[in-house]
Amino acid sequence: MTRKVFTKLLGLFVLLLVFQTVAMELILRHFVEHTPAETLHRLDREALWSGLLALAVALPLAAWAAGGVTARLQRVVDFARHIAQGDLSARLSPQGGDELSAMEAALNQTAERLDSNFAEIESRRHELATMLDSMQEAVVAVTSEGQVRWSNAVMQRIAGTEIRAGRPLVHSVRDPELLACVRGAIESREVRFGRSNSLAPGRTFEINAAPLPSGGALAVLHDVTRIEAAEKSRREFIANVSHELRTPLTSIQGYVETLIEDPKPRPGTTREFLGIIQKNVSRMSRLTEDLLALAGVESPDYKLAAQPMRASALVQDAIESLGGIVVDSGVELESAGAPDTCVIADADAMNQVFGNLVENAVKYGSSGKRIEVGAKPVAEGIEFWVRDFGPGIASEHLERIFERFYRVDKARSRESGGTGLGLAIVKHIVQVHGGRIWVESELGAGANFHFTLPLAPPVSRPEASQPAKTEA
Ligand SMILES: Nc1ncnc2c1ncn2[C@@H]1O[C@H](COP(=O)(O)OP(=O)(O)OP(=O)(O)O)[C@@H](O)[C@H]1O
Ligand SMILES: [Mg+2]
């Protein structure tokens, strides 16, 4: 290309020279006809020599000038090649004020603009990818042929495999519900909703697949596992409360109707029925109290009046205040020792915790004749325990025993007035204190309920009085 230009320029130059020579020849011929022969002969020779001299000087000069242009054009070609290969940092260095340097400056400007536009597109793409990756939802975009365009990090995590762009979505995700939603959105050009339980074990996702303007579809997966679990637990709770209230209410209604309809009730029977009614009423009132207590400790507004308290004092208080409960049951309530270390605790809440645990030990473990309350230092703070030596709890119940309304032996628990909320309340109180609770038990070997409380921060003592420094 550049060689061609060079040849053309050279040709042009030679042509101009020929024209000039012909013109000169015509002028000279006219001059020759009117000039003496000798003078002409001399002039002829001089003209020939000067023409040859001019040609000898002009030719290298033309070659030099054309060579400079060729080199500059070659640089432009190299520059274009760099740009085509994606190297947008390439630049030309325009020299002089000719048309070629103006073109070089314009090309530089274009390259600069391209470079900054590409940089901006790249930074926006990066920003979008970061935003998509930080989303809670899983997102995947597919082409109208069902091939993955891109997917975010959550989607890859849920799929449990790398979802490669360009490959069919079905190769990475087998979930029929997600695939059906995506296919439906692509074909109908309408938003499709779905719900999947098989995408990841134990998790439920709400799927929302929308058609993309350029064809294909965008699917967003929202994890609703927690919402579903909370909803299930709420439904179960309402069913349990209704059931717990219905049982005593049905009994009260039956006995009241019998008393009303009996024209001549026997005093003994009336008394017996009223006794049963009273028992059911107090059961309902206990249930209501427990429900209120549970709602209180579960509420985000529940505030502890927590303060530093000695572990030994907490154990001693529990034994003294609960002594009355054990008197009639013939069980010994004793301390297994406790350190004087201070924990952070709310005194009233702790009464509730020890009250529930000791009451349970009396209700369900009194056959062991002994209940032990103690505390010891552990890594997390202080570990407290309430232990009985009764029949214990079978291992299959240990996991669920702190759930609301969970009772090992429903009939027996109900008989003893239990609502199944005591341990749920205790668990919440301990957790709000920043501790944890668990139970160890074996059938026939009693039950041992443990919970931990965090240590109170060390009290900073006032600096010991230093001898006054005397300035020299
Ligand atoms: N020390 C224990 N020994 C054996 N079983 C126990 C013991 N403590 C609790 N349980 C079992 O755990 C169940 C749940 O106890 P929880 O204190 O939550 O309810 P409850 O005692 O039945 O009723 P509430 O405490 O609300 O009056 C009890 O019904 C009982 O079956
Ligand atoms: Mg209880």
Of residues 68 and 266, more confidently modeled? 266
Q: Are residues 288 and 160 in the same domain?
A: no
Q: What is the mean pLDDT of residues 383-393?
A: 96
The total number of structural domains in the chain stands at 4
User: Rounded to the nearest whole angstrom, what is the distance from the C-alpha of residue 311 to the centroid of ligand 2?
Assistant: 23
Mean pLDDT of the chain: 88
Q: What is the mean pLDDT of residues 437-452?
A: 95
| Per-residue confidence (pLDDT) for residue 429, from 0 to 100 | 96
Q: What is the mean pLDDT of residues 109-127?
A: 89
Q: Are residues 315 and 440 in the same domain?
A: yes
Integer Rg of the chain from CA: 49
pLDDT band at 22 (very low <50, low <70, confident <90, very high): confident
Query: Which atom of ligand 1 is found nearest the CA of 361?
Result: 1
pLDDT at 468 over 60: no
How many CA within 13 A on the CB side of residue 66? 19
pLDDT at 466 over 60: no
| Per-residue confidence (pLDDT) for residue 100, from 0 to 100 | 83
| Per-residue confidence (pLDDT) for residue 434, from 0 to 100 | 95
Distance CA 340, CA 349 (A): 20
Q: Are residues 291 and 427 in the same domain?
A: no
pLDDT at 465 over 70: no
| Per-residue confidence (pLDDT) for residue 4, from 0 to 100 | 61
Strand order across the 332-335 sheet: 332-335, 370-378, 381-388, 447-453, 437-441
pLDDT band at 467 (very low <50, low <70, confident <90, very high): very low
Would you state the structure tokens that stand for residue 444, as one six-digit string? 């026939």
Kindly report, residue by residue over 142-158, the tens digit of the pLDDT: 999 999 999 999 999 99
Determine the structural domain holding residue 342 and report its residue range: 307-453
Distance CA 459, CA 44 (A): 123
Query: Which atom of ligand 1 is found nearest the CA of 286?
Result: 27
Residue 6 lies in a domain: yes
Distance CA 411, CA 362 (A): 17
Q: Are residues 190 and 163 in the same domain?
A: yes
Q: What is the mean pLDDT of residues 204-221?
A: 95
> Which residue has its alpha carbon closest to ligand 1 atom 1?
361
| Beta carbons of 255 and 273 less than 8 angstroms apart | yes
Q: Are residues 53 and 74 in the same domain?
A: yes
pLDDT band at 1 (very low <50, low <70, confident <90, very high): very low
Q: Are residues 78 and 216 in the same domain?
A: no
H helices of 85-175, where? 99-133, 153-159, 169-172
Give which of 357, 356, 446, 449 is closest to 393, Cα–Cα: 446
Residue 235 CA, distance from chain mean position: 28
pLDDT at 432 over 50: yes
pLDDT band at 32 (very low <50, low <70, confident <90, very high): low
Q: What is the mean pLDDT of residues 384-406?
A: 94
| Per-residue confidence (pLDDT) for residue 3, from 0 to 100 | 58
Distance CA 52, CA 157 (A): 86
CATH code at position 292:
1.10.287.130
Question: Which residue ranges have their beta carbon within 6 Å of ligand 1?
Answer: 290, 356, 360-361, 364-365, 388, 390, 393, 401, 406-409, 413, 418-423, 447
- The per-residue DSSP string of 402-434 comes to TSTT--SSHHHHHHTT--S-HHHHHHHHHHHTT
| Per-residue confidence (pLDDT) for residue 461, from 0 to 100 | 60
Q: Are residues 264 and 351 in the same domain?
A: no
CATH code at position 375:
3.30.565.10
Q: What is the mean pLDDT of residues 378-401?
A: 95
Q: Which ligand is nearest to the CA of 419?
A: 1
User: Rounded to the nearest whole angstrom, what is the distance from the C-alpha of residue 351 to the centroid of ligand 2?
Assistant: 14
pLDDT at 138 over 90: yes
pLDDT at 98 over 80: yes
Q: What is the mean pLDDT of residues 10-27?
A: 75
What residues contact 285, with CB distance under 8 A and at least 6 apart?
Answer: none
Q: 3-state DSSP: the chain helix, strand, coil percent, rounded to 5?
A: 55, 15, 30
Query: Which atom of ligand 1 is found nearest the CA of 407?
Result: 29
User: Rounded to the nearest whole angstrom, what is the distance from the C-alpha of residue 391 to the centroid of ligand 1?
Assistant: 13
Kindly report, residue by residue over 318-335, the tens digit of the pLDDT: 999 998 888 888 899 999
Would you state the structure tokens that stand for residue 209, as one six-digit string? 């697949």
Provide the percentage of residues in the chain whose pLDDT is more than 70. 92
Of residues 417 and 189, more confidently modeled? 189
> Which residue has its alpha carbon closest to ligand 1 atom 21?
418
> Which run of H or of E encompasses 226?
helix 225-261
pLDDT at 470 over 50: no
Q: Which ligand is nearest to the CA of 402?
A: 1
pLDDT band at 166 (very low <50, low <70, confident <90, very high): very high
Q: Are residues 437 and 322 in the same domain?
A: yes
Q: What is the mean pLDDT of residues 163-182?
A: 93
Instruction: Give the residue, out of 354, 359, 360, with the most ligand 1 atoms within 8 A of its beta carbon, to mutate for a pocket test.
Output: 360
Q: What is the mean pLDDT of residues 197-226?
A: 94
pLDDT at 66 over 80: no
pLDDT at 448 over 80: yes
> Which residue has its alpha carbon closest to ligand 1 atom 17?
422
Q: Are residues 169 and 260 in the same domain?
A: no
Provide the percentage of residues in the chain whose pLDDT is more than 90. 53
pLDDT at 345 over 70: yes
Verdict on whether the full-model pTM lies above 0.85: no
CATH code at position 212:
3.30.450.20
Residue 464 lies in a domain: no
Q: Are residues 395 and 354 in the same domain?
A: yes
Bridge partners, residue 309, by sequence: 343
Q: Are residues 241 and 168 in the same domain?
A: no
| Per-residue confidence (pLDDT) for residue 53, from 0 to 100 | 87
